Amino acid sequence: MADPVTVTPAAAELIRSLRGRHGPLMFHQSGGCCDGSAPMCYPAGEFRTGGSDVRLAALAVDGVPEPVEFWMSKSQWDLWKHTRLTVDVVPGRGSGFSLEAPDGVRFLIRSRLAT
């Protein structure tokens, strides 16, 4: 089975930039209902995960020395587990708590059915 989470080249470029400014990173996706939901990007370890979260991937991004973990709330993954997720970047501000917010862009999720 393919990895459940991948990144686009635009997302990889932004991840490299954020890594250079903030150090190791992580993503957490919670509460998004569908395609176009915004995963939050944090410095690694800043968002506390627990038993209600699932680590879906340790993303290998060229130019980033360590994997970027991607977490999702278990209840959301139970609904999305039949999909493969792609982290992309679009213009516009997302959440004020996600590291990319000051850059005028936001991460978002594109999904497709797993095959």
Model pLDDT for residues 55-94, shown as the tens digit of each residue: 999 999 999 999 999 999 999 899 889 999 999 999 987 6
Q: Look up residue 71 and give its two tokens.
A: 């977490």
Q: Which of 11-15, 81-85, 95-99 has the highest mean pLDDT?
A: 11-15
Q: How far apart are CA 49 and CA 74, in angstroms?
A: 11
pTM of the entire predicted model: 0.91
pLDDT attached to residue 95: 61
Q: Look up residue 47 and give its two tokens.
A: 């968002």
Q: How far apart are CA 106 and CA 1, in angstroms?
A: 28
